[in-house]
Structure 1
Amino acid sequence: MKTRRGAPLWVTGGTRFAGMPSAQARIGLVLVLVFLVACLSAIVSPGPRPSVDGGAASTAVAPDAPPPGQTDLLLYETIVAGVRGGSPYYAVAAETQRSGHYPLKPFFTVRLPTLAVVEANLPPLVVKLLLLALCVGTILAWVARLRPAMTGLVPLGAAGLLVIAGLYVNLDASFVVFHEVWAGPLIALSLALRRPGHWLPAVAVGLSAMLIRETALLYVAIMTVFAWLEGERRETLGWLAGIAIFAAVLAAHAHAVSLVTGPLDRVSQGWSGLEGFGFYVRLATISSGLDILPQWLASLVLGMALFGWLAWRDAVAPRALVVFAAYAALISLFARSDNFYWALMTTPVLLVGLVFAVDGLRDMIAAARDTRRITVTRVIR
């Protein structure tokens, strides 16, 4: 027996949990509580640290000790400055990473040249304005995408503010050289632009994200699988074409890196951090507006945001949720504590799920509390 459905609060059309059987709703509430407890593991998770600790470096005596104060931010700024000065990208990147005692092997320890070359050939103010325009465009695209699903201006305004909160780090111009600061909003924008039968802009933006940060391939692969499962043949081919272009660029990148590296260059220590789900939650909270909250509260809010994405009954919701889950798994299993910026690939629209959590949680609680019984009365004549 299904339960009665309540009137929509913030989301039109109801959530996935509206009218669900009471027994399933009770199980669902227990699973939500278990998930929130898992999110609280962020409290004891090791916090992020810079790739090189300046304080420790200053006291190091090893011959290959990194220079004092060396950070990823300084590394990327130095590369951009070198290219702006007229030096070839790969020569600058190799020398900068070598002098900073960064690995040069395997080839993907060197970022694709796209972002550095673009920033080097534009005035710094223009670069900052471009990042701002990207963030504003992402906000407007998601407001337009969410408008039909919202019951009024209040939930729509709340959704817009949540996108702004998710872009908390991206709106800081001092991080303009970080690749994830650009790739994250591009992924979010691609998600917002994708419609059944209208996929070309989404593919183009997704390809742009891959050409800036290679890990955006995970997002494009997920979108390809969804298109294939839904029988969208042309869209599937479009995403595959984007992957093919990226693969060709990556192969050329690998060859270019091999020309500027030698047998004595450092090899990466690998990506096997195994920091756990709590590490992802912690990185996602400090990489968004949740950073102003105590860690325990920020963890619970992030957990409810993910629950909200599950509640929303729309084609973009499962795509977004799988993308978040995939990057969460990637970070939980492979990210080291100095890879703190990986979470920026998911944070731009993650918090939007909170607007769906309002109706979703209400529907689930209402279903769990429904104690209606069917009484059969036998009439004897």
Structure 2
Amino acid sequence: MKDTAPLWLTAPSRFAVLKPQGARLGLALLALLLLATLLALASPGPPPTSHDPAHRADDQADVVLYETIVQGIRGGGSYYPVAAQALRGGDYPMRPFVTFRLPTLAVVQATLPPTTMLILLYALVAGVVFAWYRRLRGAFIRPAPQGIAMALLAGGLVAFVQSELASFHEIWAGLLVALSLAVRRDGKWVEAVAIGLIAMLIRETAALYVAIMAVFAFAEGNRKEAIGWAATLGVFAIVIAAHAHAVSLVVRETDPVSPGWAGLLGFGFFVKTMQLSTALAMAPLWLAAPLVGLALFGWSAWNSALALRTLATLVAYAVLLALFGRADTFYWGLMIAPTLLIGLAFAPDGVRDLIARAQDPRRKITVTRVVR
């Protein structure tokens, strides 16, 4: 079969080398993935919000909780007693210790003026946009597809520019994960490791991303980089141990226990969280859900090391949400929301290559008998 030129990408997609049988299997798996995304239609979601400023304490209870903790620290309190009082006052679970967020973000917010924090947030968003612009600059053959990719990136950042969410830990950690992915290159990983460590110190679930990067570095034989990622996990373990001890000093035996995180809400819940966390929230779920699946497929199509790391991160958090997420923890999806939709820009080449490779390359020979 004659190779076809890429549609948007500068190089053929990962599926351009498949044999017909493999390409047909790929098309079948893609169809199955798109069908599976429709499970989101039956998946539970967060309770509806009133959008009434008078009911903000109910609509954004967690945000109000974090703001209360920051105000308590500004008033001269220490983080753990202030957090315990706020959790207890809001009838939140306080055991096990992971119900307490790490103090990093709250302490920084209490130290800096609110305007400075917003400037830092928007600067971080701008840094993510610039870093991904540089990484995607050589991926497409024309400016138009790259412009589409950047628009899709913007679609994943809609929640991250809302000033009222600046106290939300996933907002900062999700941006840092996206930035770390973009700045990491072969032989240039120190900055990515440092950013990954900061993300973990803000939101513990960023450790999943760091572990994935450590595995990739080890598998590729990048020993120093693997040690760097592993070392940050070691530092994180020490911080978590100290955090658990500090929490134990302010928690009482009568404080409520978390109901647990074994939500087992499945793949459809992950898809719904992605809709709620991105610009897809403006589309009906029946349309948004297949687009989430197509975005995952697109990341599998781009033939690059960055795409593999991004896809592995997306899949890992999808599993986390499917197994352990609850309807009220849908915001975990913010950890990967910035980069997800970019995959749609890679999907056209992937679909075209699968269809082209699925065709039988053997020419049919027709024998015509001529009677004289």
Q: With structure 2 as the length reference, what TM-score do the two structures score?
A: 0.93
**Residue in structure 1 matched with residue 292 of structure 2 by the alignment:** 302
Stretches of structure 2 that go unaligned for 5 or more consecutive residues are 368-372
Instruction: State which drifts further: 91-100 or 18-27.
Output: 18-27
- For 2:239 and 2:311, the matched residues in 1 are separated by 29
Tell me the amino acid that sits aligned with residue 297 of structure 2. Answer: F
- For 2:112 and 2:280, the matched residues in 1 are separated by 33
- For 2:148 and 2:58, the matched residues in 1 are separated by 44
Deviating beyond 2 angstroms after TM superposition, the runs of 4 or more aligned structure 1 residues are 67-70, 369-375
State yes or no: 1:356 paired with 2:354.
no
- For 1:169 and 1:228, the matched residues in 2 are separated by 34
- For 2:226 and 2:18, the matched residues in 1 are separated by 33
**Residue in structure 1 matched with residue 164 of structure 2 by the alignment:** 174
**Residue in structure 2 matched with residue 9 of structure 1 by the alignment:** 7
- For 1:215 and 1:19, the matched residues in 2 are separated by 36
Task: Identify the match of residue 176 of structure 2 among 181, 186, 197.
Answer: 186
Task: Identify the match of residue 74 of structure 1 among 64, 72, 75.
Answer: 64
- For 2:193 and 2:59, the matched residues in 1 are separated by 39
Tell me the amino acid that sits aligned with residue 34 of structure 1. Answer: L
**Residue in structure 2 matched with residue 35 of structure 1 by the alignment:** 33
- For 2:218 and 2:332, the matched residues in 1 are separated by 27
CA contact (8 A) 1:5 1:363 kept: no
Tell me the amino acid that sits aligned with residue 191 of structure 2. Answer: P
Bigger fraction of residues in helix = 2
Q: 1:49 to 1:4 in 2, by over 3 A?
A: farther
- For 1:327 and 1:311, the matched residues in 2 are separated by 19
Tell me the amino acid that sits aligned with residue 353 of structure 1. Answer: G
**Residue in structure 2 matched with residue 20 of structure 1 by the alignment:** 18
Tell me the amino acid that sits aligned with residue 45 of structure 1. Answer: S
**Residue in structure 1 matched with residue 204 of structure 2 by the alignment:** 214
Q: 1:321-346 CA distances to partner (integer Å, 9 max, x unpaired)?
A: 11111111111111111101100011
Aligned CA-pair RMSD = 2.0
- For 2:363 and 2:156, the matched residues in 1 are separated by 45
CA contact (8 A) 1:282 1:299 kept: yes
Instruction: State which drifts further: 229-238 or 316-325.
Output: 316-325
**Residue in structure 2 matched with residue 239 of structure 1 by the alignment:** 229
- For 1:348 and 1:361, the matched residues in 2 are separated by 23
Q: 1:234 to 1:263 in 2, by over 3 A?
A: same
Q: 1:69 to 1:158 in 2, by over 3 A?
A: closer
Q: 1:3-23 CA distances to partner (integer Å, 9 max, x unpaired)?
A: 332111111111011142222
Tell me the amino acid that sits aligned with residue 30 of structure 1. Answer: A
- For 1:165 and 1:280, the matched residues in 2 are separated by 17
CA-CA distance at 1:370 after TM superposition: 4.4
Q: With structure 1 as the length reference, what TM-score do the two structures score?
A: 0.91
Tell me the amino acid that sits aligned with residue 2 of structure 2. Answer: R
Tell me the amino acid that sits aligned with residue 168 of structure 1. Answer: V
Tell me the amino acid that sits aligned with residue 5 of structure 1. Answer: D
**Residue in structure 1 matched with residue 105 of structure 2 by the alignment:** 115
**Residue in structure 2 matched with residue 95 of structure 1 by the alignment:** 85
Instruction: State which drifts further: 151-160 or 224-233.
Output: 151-160
CA-CA distance at 1:28 after TM superposition: 1.1
